A and B are shown apart, each in its own frame.
Chain A
């Protein structure tokens, strides 16, 4: 009867796999997993303090000048795309005064203590439920979108990277606003699916989060379009996206702990449609005020963004959002908004924005 042992165990394994897939890893599985990880992750964190000379093998050396330039280049690309996003956002906000509070999200900064790749691309961060982190929260880095919290212990969390095969997020092309679903893969390639073929999409276009799903606010940079081809149905594009930065190089991240209502506002389809409609009217309405205001607005944003980028995630303190509502009527309102980070000396958030609506309104 000894042969029954492996047979029973194999059946049990398959049953576990089936149950886990059907329950999406939740329920009793998440409870047990959390219990096991609360034991194993402190062990890992304790040993992680010891320097590991082997860790950098196979990864770009920090001393390498070329690698530094590439990193700087990717950060600059990120900044430029963010500025473009903020410029467009500024135009939308000018027409949609009701949209004064787009990014009302609090955040917690954290350090990446470990990262895995291959079948299971996850990162471990040094903040957990005691800092307000919950399963499902979005995570961004100074360079853009990073991933989503998969499991949480009291002091650590596991983040499923956006490049993981089981990861998917709402995304859109920055220029055309064509929306789709961005999925990862086992080799880290990002693919944007279900983009309506009626849109114009070209190589090099910037891909940002669409806000759909509520995990991330709209406008978080993801990457650039590498290849565009129709899918098998010929109704949608299948777009290959290059991440704007090597995700494994990020050491500091922001967990978007914030206001779910604010995120819900972003996924309001009616509101998003009105934004798109407004954008169309702006572009066809030839509002010289808007077009002339854009550069100054971008410049203002640039100064702010560079400041926050150079700050490089020093603290999580803020999570604040500063909105000067009193200035709206006089056309001098100054909205400082952040997708999860404080604009006042907090993290170098990818989507930290400071939009001078007063300038645009003049």
Chain B
């Protein structure tokens, strides 16, 4: 399947999942964040610039759909997309264990970043720790499971990506490699 088609399909499907299905499958008031799927996917496959752009768009949509301060989720998902892109430029993330670790780290990072941004942008920080423990941890776990399943499934469908080693040579359309990667190669 062409990469852009897969991205578009994933994005639309995750939008529907997030706004229609997620509230219906919440467990004890905790629902997964399906919009993290296209963010991590694009970050892993198209680099940090595309990943951060996708993160910003998805986060902004989630901000407007909710009732929290606009921009908080956009910034946190931007960070996740950025780091996913950087991680993919450092190593090939295709195997199930690596995808599982990526999913977990991305979900935890998103929750922590979001929580931190919300707290920094509001006057009152009472109850933050207990919220992180009781809410963010479970949300991250729930999201990580969904993210891992989605990434593995998409990985099976999309075969047309060149190996990261090809990308490291800098001769593909997947974006210029990071300085970090260049240094590692030397």
- CB-CB under 8 A from A47, the residues of chain B are 20-21, 23-24
B20/A52 in contact, CB under 8 A: no
Task: For the complex, give the distance between the alpha carbons of A160 and B72 in Å.
Answer: 17
> Is B56 touching A12 in the complex (CB atoms < 8 A)?
yes
Q: Are B82's CB and A48's CB within 8 A? A: no
Distance, CA A35 to CA B65, complexed state (A): 9
Q: With an 8 A cutoff between CB atoms, is B172 at the interface? A: no
Cβ-defined contact, B117 with A32, below 8 A: no
* Stretch in A17-25, A99-107, A274-282, A302-310 with 4+ CB within 8 Å of B: A17-25
A44 and B23 in contact, given A6-B48, A118-B135 (Cβ under 8 angstroms): yes
Q: Does B66 contact A (CB under 8 A)?
A: yes
Query: Mostly helix, strand, loop or mixed at chain B's interface?
Result: helix
Q: Which residues of A contact B68 (CB under 8 A)?
A: 119-120
**Nearest CB in chain A: distance from B171 CB, A:** 16
B23 touches A188 (CB 8 A): no
Whether the Cβ atoms of A48 and B23 lie closer than 8 Å is yes
Do B27 and A188 touch across chains, with their CB atoms under 8 A apart? Answer: no
Smallest CB separation, A250 vs chain B (Å): 13
Contact of A6 among B24, B72, B78, B117 (CB under 8 A): B78
Q: Given the interface contacts A17-B71, A48-B24, A57-B27, does A120 sit within 8 Å of B66 by beta carbon?
A: yes
Contacts of B49 in A (CB 8 A): 2-3, 5-6
In the complex, the answer to whether B70 meets A58 with C-beta atoms within 8 Å is: no
Contact B70 A29 (CB under 8 A): yes
User: Nearest Cβ in chain A — how far from B87, in angstroms?
Assistant: 14
Q: Which of A17, A46, A48, A55 contacts B117 (CB 8 A)?
A: A17
Given contacts A5-B49, A16-B74, contact A165 B19 (CB under 8 A): no
User: Considering only CB atoms and an 8 Å cut-off, how many residues of chain B contact the other chain?
Assistant: 57
A16 to B64, alpha carbons, bound, how many Å? 12
Q: Would B23 and A54 count as touching, CB distance under 8 A? A: no
B98 in the interface (beta carbon within 8 A): no
Specify the chain B residue showing the minimal Cβ separation from A52: B24
Given the interface pairs A9-B56, A12-B56, the reply to whether A54 lies near B25 with Cβ below 8 Å is: yes
**B38 within 8 Å of A (CB atoms):** no
A166 to B29, CA, bound (A): 19
What B residues does A187 contact at CB under 8 A?
126-128, 130-131, 134
The complex places the Cα of A54 from the Cα of B27 at a distance, in Å, of 5
CB distance from A119 to the nearest CB of B (A): 5
Is B181 interfacial (CB 8 A cutoff)?
Answer: no
**Chain B min CB distance to A37 (Å):** 6
B176 part of interface (Cβ distance < 8 Å): yes
Contacts of A344 in B (CB 8 A): none
Interface of chain A residues 185 through 209 with chain B (CB within 8 A): 185-189, 191
User: Number of A residues whose C-beta is below 8 Å from B?
Assistant: 58
Hey, which chain B residues are within 8 Å of A12, CB to CB?
56
Q: Does B124 contact A (CB under 8 A)?
A: yes
Answer whether residue B115 sits at the interface, using C-beta atoms and an 8 A cutoff.
Answer: yes
A160 and B56 form a contact (CB under 8 A): no
Confirm or deny: A271 has a beta carbon within 8 angstroms of a beta carbon on chain B.
Answer: no
Whether A6 and B118, one on each chain, are in contact in the complex, defined by CB atoms closer than 8 angstroms, is no
Interface assignment of A43: CB less than 8 Å from any CB of chain B: yes
Known contacts A9-B56, A21-B69; A165/B75 CB under 8 A: no
Q: Give the chain A neighbours of B26 by CB distance below 8 A.
A: 52, 54-55
Task: Tell me if B139 is interfacial: C-beta within 8 Å of chain A.
Answer: yes
CA distance A241 to B128 in the complex (A): 18
Q: Is the CB of B20 within 8 A of A14?
A: no
Judge whether B24 and A116 touch: CB under 8 Å. Answer: no
Task: Find residues 151-197 in chain A having any chain B CB closer than 8 Å to their own CB.
Answer: 151, 158, 160, 165-166, 183, 185-189, 191
Say whether B29 contacts A2, CB under 8 Å: no
CA distance A185 to B59 in the complex (A): 24
Does A115 touch B at the CB level, under 8 Å? Answer: yes
| Interface: A13 (CB within 8 A) | yes
Residues in B with CB closer than 8 Å to A122 are: 66-67
Q: How far is the CB of B146 from chain A (nearest CB, A)?
A: 13
* A284 touches B (CB below 8 Å): no
A59: interface (CB < 8 Å):
yes
Task: Please state if A185 and B126 are interface contacts (CB–CB under 8 Å).
Answer: yes
Inside 8 A of B119's CB, which chain A residues have their CB? Answer: 186
B117–chain A nearest beta-carbon distance, Å: 7
Per the bound structure, the CA–CA distance linking A72 and B113 in Å amounts to 41
The answer to whether A17 and B175 touch across the interface, beta carbons within 8 angstroms, is no
Q: Does A97 contact B (CB under 8 A)?
A: no
Measured in the bound complex, the distance between the Cα atoms of B136 and A117 in whole Å is 10
Counting CB contacts under 8 A, is B61 at the interface? yes
Residue of B nearest to A165 (CB): B124
Listed A/B pairs (19) with beta-carbon separation below 8 Å: A2-B175, A5-B53, A6-B48, A6-B82, A9-B74, A13-B71, A15-B71, A25-B69, A40-B20, A44-B20, A52-B25, A55-B26, A115-B29, A116-B29, A118-B136, A120-B66, A185-B126, A187-B127, A189-B126
Sort A-B residue pairs by CB-CB distance and give the 8 closest, nearest first: A58-B28, A187-B127, A16-B71, A118-B135, A13-B75, A6-B52, A185-B127, A17-B71
